Amino acid sequence: IGKVSLSVDKEPPPVSCTCVAFAKTEAVGLLRKGWSKEMVLAAYTRAMAIRMSNLVNRVGLEKEFVITGGQSKNSGIVKRIEDALNVKTLPSPDWKKGELDPMIAGAIGAALFAKALYLKNKNN
């Protein structure tokens, strides 16, 4: 999806709806209006990148950061986040080379948090 979304000559406007329940209907409508699948994918990855960039701007942009989670594997989203924030992100671990899969970073963080909470409650 990421590579295909980056193959457009001009960025389309972002879609208004990123809710999965309504996104399919909107995507079908755009295709019926003559949008190419590349334009539709570019519009959705752009919309996701804008939403994520807005979240980053709310909490503050660190000088160096890495994108984790499923979106880290979508080059279209990563590129558009970098463009929106005017930064270059650190490379995500390459799970294909046996490095930590960036998609499970949140799960690892949750597990560490749960362990700390368990140990705190165990000692009280």
**Dist. CA 69–CA 58, nearest whole Å:** 19
Percent residues over pLDDT 70 in the chain: 98
pTM equals 0.79
- Helix or strand or coil: residue 87? coil
- 52 is written with which tokens? 């994520």
Select 2-92's CATH number: 3.40.190.80, 1.20.120.80, 3.30.420.40, 3.40.50.720.
3.30.420.40
Helix (H) or strand (E) holding 12: none
Residue with the bigger pLDDT between 62 and 40: it is: 40
- Work out the angle at residue 70's Cα, subtended by the Cα atoms of residues 47 and 44, and round it to the nearest 5 degrees: 20
Residue 18 clears pLDDT 70, i.e. is over it: no
- Taking a C-beta distance cutoff of 8 angstroms, is the pair 92, 67 a contact? yes
Q: pLDDT value at position 68?
A: 87
Give the residue-averaged pLDDT of 76-86.
94
Residue 36 clears pLDDT 90, i.e. is over it: yes
Looking at the DSSP bridge assignments, the partners of residue 66 are: 90
Residue extents of the structural domains in the chain: 2-92
Q: pLDDT value at position 12?
A: 92
- Taking a C-beta distance cutoff of 8 angstroms, is the pair 46, 11 a contact? yes
**Dist. CA 90–CA 7, nearest whole Å:** 23
